[in-house]
């Protein structure tokens, strides 16, 4: 009842002139396969975008399924800021950044034509930041005994820290004009490489140590993410039933629902593993590692910001050059 009251109050505060468009009324690059209505005009005002999020648009579910969990994980991160569990805090922070950035990108990309590019770039960076945060948590709490002393174990977090901005750059470059299929393949390949690397501890534990009971939550996390990726990649069910899932139930909605549920399973697993203690060693080792991953996260964030700004400026310059050539 309280949530209904919140939406009722919000709907009275937002402008009533918020209109939604048919697929035929928006540029082709804004259309989703099988989604025939519920599109928002671009450019739009911030107030209009906010209004669309409490009305039946095709981004409403996408926004709320990441915004509410994002607030939850942000509160979790803030609640643990004073503790000595640095890897756990970095993980919680990465999830909050991912969820909140994604929700704001989905909610407010129509503010300008450049806002669409910025939203995509921020979304890509946030996903890769989350992957790095997951790597920090996996290293601290999921690695099998003795795995830290292997060559792979010693370089696991460092390589994850390098792959995160590299995959962000690949994803941002895929937004440049070119072959659409190759762009999508390169973007998905970048994400796949990073997430495969991130889940190496799980793969090792399942194939070598066979710790199935200890890793039930993490296994559920990977299975749900795989289902989410498969559903989103196939654009099921809207491709089979065009127009039937414009507002709720589309593959993008399912991606968010399955993805958020997967992250929650991962959170539960890491929280349980954290209570068993820091795997590599004693509290002194934990303090050293906490300082390392905190500085690495700051480096990843700054590198991502440089990549995003550079790609935005480069794409804007290419657009102006193309416009001049077409004008001439």
| Residues tagged in the binding site annotation for Zn(2+) | 106, 252, 256
Please give the Cα distance from 190 to 186 (Å, whole number).
6
> Mapped to the 3 state alphabet, what secondary structure does the chain carry?
CHHHHHHHHHHHHCCCCCCEECHHHCCHHHCCCCCCCCEECCCCCHHHHHHHCCCCCCCHHHHHHHHHHHHHHHHHHHHCCCCCCHHHHHHHHHHHHHHHHHHHHHHHHHHCHHHHHHHHHHHHHHHHHHHHHHHHHHHHHCCCCCHHHCHHHHHHHHHHHHHHHHHHHHHHHCCCCCCHHHHHHHHHHHHHHHHHHHCHHHHHHHHHHCCCCCCHHHHHHHHHHHHHHHHHHHCCCCCCCCCCCCCCCCHHHHHHHHHHHHHHHHHHHHHHHHHHCCCCCCHHHHHHHHHHHHHHHHHHHHHHHHHHHHHHHHHHHHHHHHHHHHHC
Q: Which residues are annotated as a binding site?
A: 106, 252, 256
């Amino acid at each position: 009842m309280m949530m209904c009251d919140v939406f009722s109050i919000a709907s009275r505060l937002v402008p009533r002139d918020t209109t939604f468009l048919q697929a035929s009324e928006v540029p082709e690059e804004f259309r989703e396969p099988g989604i025939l209505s519920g599109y928002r005009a671009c450019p739009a005002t911030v107030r209009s975008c906010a209004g669309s999020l409490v009305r039946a648009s095709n981004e409403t579910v996408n926004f709320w399924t990441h915004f509410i969990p994002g607030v939850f994980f942000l509160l979790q991160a803030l609640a643990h800021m004073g503790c000595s569990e640095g890897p756990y805090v970095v993980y919680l922070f990465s999830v909050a950044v991912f969820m909140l950035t994604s929700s704001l990108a989905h909610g407010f990309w129509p503010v300008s034509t450049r806002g669409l590019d910025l939203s995509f770039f921020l979304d890509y960076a946030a996903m890769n930041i989350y992957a790095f945060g997951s790597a920090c948590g996996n290293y601290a709490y999921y690695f099998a005994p003795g795995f830290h002393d292997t060559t792979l174990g010693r370089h696991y977090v460092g390589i994850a820290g390098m792959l995160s901005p590299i995959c962000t750059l690949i994803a941002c470059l895929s937004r440049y004009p070119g072959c659409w299929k190759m762009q999508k393949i390169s973007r998905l390949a970048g994400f796949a490489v990073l997430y495969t690397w991130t889940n190496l501890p799980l793969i090792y534990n399942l194939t070598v140590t066979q710790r199935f009971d200890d890793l039930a939550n993490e296994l559920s996390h990977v299975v749900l993410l795989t289902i989410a990726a498969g559903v989103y990649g196939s654009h099921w069910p809207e491709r089979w039933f065009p127009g039937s899932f414009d507002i709720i139930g589309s593959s993008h909605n399912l991606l968010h629902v399955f993805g958020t549920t997967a992250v929650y399973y991962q959170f539960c697993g890491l929280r349980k593993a954290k209570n068993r203690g820091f795997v590599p060693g004693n509290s002194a080792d934990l303090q050293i590692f906490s300082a390392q991953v905190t500085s690495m996260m700051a480096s990843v964030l700054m590198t991502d910001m440089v990549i995003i700004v550079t790609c935005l400026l480069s794409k804007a310059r290419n657009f102006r050059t193309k416009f001049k050539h077409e004008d001439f």
